[in-house]
Amino acid sequence: MQRVFLSLVVVVVVVVVVVVVVVVVVVVAYEPELTEDTFFNSKVLSDFEEFKKMTDVIVSNRMEIALEDVVDQVYTRDLFGSV
């Protein structure tokens, strides 16, 4: 009985170790007026088209017309739809 329990524990530990997934989030900021290359260890871009190409998710205070071509990537709390 003890040998079976030990085998089950080893199997459970192996499964848990295999299931662990590492997620890396890279933050990129768009700010045309900032002259530094980084801001709080985040890359800063001043070219909006380059910014849109390299991002998977865009967090914005409000929806803008310039974001219409990437609307599926935009998360906003714009309650009034300012576009």
- pLDDT tens digit sequence for 2-23: 444 444 444 444 444 455 566 7
Give the model's pLDDT for residue 21.
Answer: 63
What residues contact residue 45 under an 8 Å CB cut-off, 6+ apart? 28, 29, 30, 31, 51, 54
The mean pLDDT of the chain is 77
What residues contact residue 12 under an 8 Å CB cut-off, 6+ apart? none
**Least confident span in 14-18, 51-55, 74-78:** 14-18
**SS3 breakdown of the chain: % helix, strand, coil, rounded to 5?**
40, 20, 40
Q: What is the pTM of this model?
A: 0.63
Torsion angle in degrees (nearest 10) through CA of 68, 71, 75, 76: 30
Give the model's pLDDT for residue 14.
Answer: 46
pLDDT mean over 48-60: 91
